[in-house]
Amino acid sequence: MNYKQAMEYVESLQALGSVPGLDNIINLCEKLGNPQDDLRFLHIAGTNGKGSVSAYLSSVLGSAGYKVGTYNSPTIREYRERICVNGRMISQRVFCELLAQVKEACDVLREEGKAHPTPFEVETALGFLYFKEKKCNYVILECGMGGALDATNLVTTTAVAVFTPISMDHMGFLGETIAAIATQKAGIIKSGCRVVSAQQSEEAAEVIKKVSRQQQIEPVFVENEDASKIHYGLEKQSFLYQGRQKIEISLAGQYQIENALLALKVIDVLRDEGVKIPDRAVEKGFAGARWSGRFEVLGRKPYFVVDGAHNEDGARKLAQSIRFYFTNKKIIYIMGILKDKEYDKIISLTAPFATHIITVKTPDNPRAMDAYELAQAAMVYHGSVTAAGSLEEAVEMSYLLADKDSVIVSFGSLSYLGRMMEILEKRQRKE
């Protein structure tokens, strides 16, 4: 199997969709020798911020000398980004070799009359195989959706269950209330692990406390006073952690301080458990952490920012950052949203800050909302909206509308931001 054939096989699995539950992944991993049992996990659930927290933890633990696997989704530019060790994605050769093993196991399951694993289950099992092969000390494992019934919840060797802020998303799968969604996400809490959470709404916090204490675990929550002397910026941000350690990060967005504090609290808990993580590794790790597509500045004069705000909480945080960093600026949006998202709430939260809104259809995604349909929805909240025929047209249109002091913000579905970055890079090379 070469890489082209491998990706064709992965693409062919998309028709299987997403099936909540652990039966398929249990069957698949049993056929593969249960590689996950030889690994130690930092398991992350939540609505937004999982990728950034993962990036911080990976960078810090890597700086401390550990071999760290990361499993994230969705990805921005390259499929293999979702499976990395110390920041380097799995090679094409190894990916093909391991996918062949997983495919063989899937074929055996089918012969036994069992269901074929879904694309996410195949990816998850492949990740476990790779992390075992690389002898990772820790694997930072991001839930795909929810927690209790997510394929990643097969694992039983969780060191720390980590919760980013929990808000409304995937209601059709997870429930119609914060408490119901939090209950699903709290399903990753295992006996014997530690539990660390960002600040939560009262409903979500109560669920995390209840489920933790059922397992005789006392959860740890991030506190407001953990950060002082905060300095915000587009290129660099810093704060004093617990009054003693200066932390600098290069990820922009006000919410990145919250994400960094959660990662720091996880590091504190790991240290309590005897894991050696020097202060120098913490400082170096945070300064060097990178996470693409989250309030990321790709151009200047005018500023061009991309952000994966694809749900209500993400839109609220994007609006806060725009208001904070770009007050009194002319702002042009390029907006692409999936039709199964709460697009009306996303638009209502972000529209007040825009001078003009350009809508696009996310390419090659059956869940994408049509640009014209999205424009019609945006017109309810804004008087200047245009539907673009392509991402390239949207970029050119945005630059025509902007001057050097303007700000262009491309946001919404993560699935189109990688293509947007490529278009922008090509345009910049021509200049």
* 362-375 per-position pLDDT tens digit: 888 888 899 999 99
Predicted TM-score (pTM) above 0.85: yes
Virtual CA dihedral for 260, 261, 265, 266, nearest 10 degrees?
-20
**Band (168; pLDDT cuts 50, 70, 90):** confident
For residues 286 and 249, the answer to whether their CB atoms sit within 8 Å is yes
Q: Looking at residues 36-58, what average pLDDT do you find?
A: 95
Q: Looking at residues 234-253, what average pLDDT do you find?
A: 93
* Alpha-carbon span 131 to 34, nearest angstrom: 12
Let me know whether 352 and 262 are in one domain: no
Question: Is 170 a residue whose pLDDT tops 70?
Answer: no
Let me know whether 182 and 277 are in one domain: yes
Let me know whether 243 and 342 are in one domain: no
Domain end point (choices 240, 266, 288)? 288
* Alpha-carbon span 283 to 278, nearest angstrom: 9
Q: What is the CATH number of the domain that holds 323?
A: 3.90.190.20
| Number of structural domains the chain divides into | 2
Tens of pLDDT along 94-129?
999 999 999 999 999 999 999 999 999 999 999 999
Residue 72's Cβ-side half-sphere holds a number of Cα atoms within 13 Å equal to 28
Domain end point (choices 249, 269, 288)? 288
Domain end point (choices 268, 288, 308)? 288
DSSP collapsed to 3 states, the chain? CCHHHHHHHHHHHHHHCCCCCCHHHHHHHHHCCCHHHHCCEEEEECCCCHHHHHHHHHHHHHHCCCCEEEECCCCCCCHHHHEEECCEECCHHHHHHHHHHHHHHHHHHHHCCCCCCCHHHHHHHHHHHHHHHCCCCEEEEECCCCCCCCHHHHCCCEEEEEECCCCCCCHHHHCCCHHHHHHHHHHHCCCCCEEEECCCCHHHHHHHHHHHHHCCCCCEECCHHHEEEEECCCCCEEEEECCCEEEEECCCCCHHHHHHHHHHHHHHHHHHCCCCCCHHHHHHHHHHCCCCCCCEEEECCCEEEEECCCCHHHHHHHHHHHHHHCCCCCEEEEEECECCCCHHHHHHHHHHHCCEEEECCCCCCCCECCHHHHHHHHHCCCCCEEECCCHHHHHHHHHHHCCCCCEEEEEECHHHHHHHHHHHHHHHHHC
How far from chain centre, in Å, is Cα 173? 18
What is the reported pLDDT for 174? 64
Let me know whether 275 and 316 are in one domain: no
Let me know whether 218 and 77 are in one domain: yes
Sign of the CA dihedral with 302 first, then 305, 310, and 316 last? negative
Let me know whether 234 and 341 are in one domain: no
CA angle 61, 66, 67 (to 5 degrees): 110
Range of the domain at 408: 296-430
* 322-328 LR contacts (CB < 8 Å, sep 24+): 322/350, 322/353, 322/407, 322/409, 323/353, 324/232, 324/254, 325/232, 325/234, 325/252, 326/353, 326/407
Q: Among residues 123, 167, 163, 151, which one has the least CA distance to residue 314?
A: 167
Neighbours of 113 (CB within 10 A): 6
Let me know whether 321 and 278 are in one domain: no
What is the reported pLDDT for 103? 97
What is the reported pLDDT for 106? 97
**Band (173; pLDDT cuts 50, 70, 90):** low
Q: Looking at residues 286-291, what average pLDDT do you find?
A: 94
**Band (294; pLDDT cuts 50, 70, 90):** confident
Let me know whether 13 and 91 are in one domain: yes
Q: Give me the chain's average pLDDT, please.
A: 93
Let me know whether 301 and 272 are in one domain: no
For the chain, what's the residue count?
431
Q: What is the CATH number of the domain that holds 103?
A: 3.40.1190.10
Let me know whether 8 and 86 are in one domain: yes
Let me know whether 152 and 221 are in one domain: yes
Let me know whether 300 and 245 are in one domain: no
**Band (284; pLDDT cuts 50, 70, 90):** very high
Question: Is 172 a residue whose pLDDT tops 70?
Answer: no
Question: Is 169 a residue whose pLDDT tops 80?
Answer: no
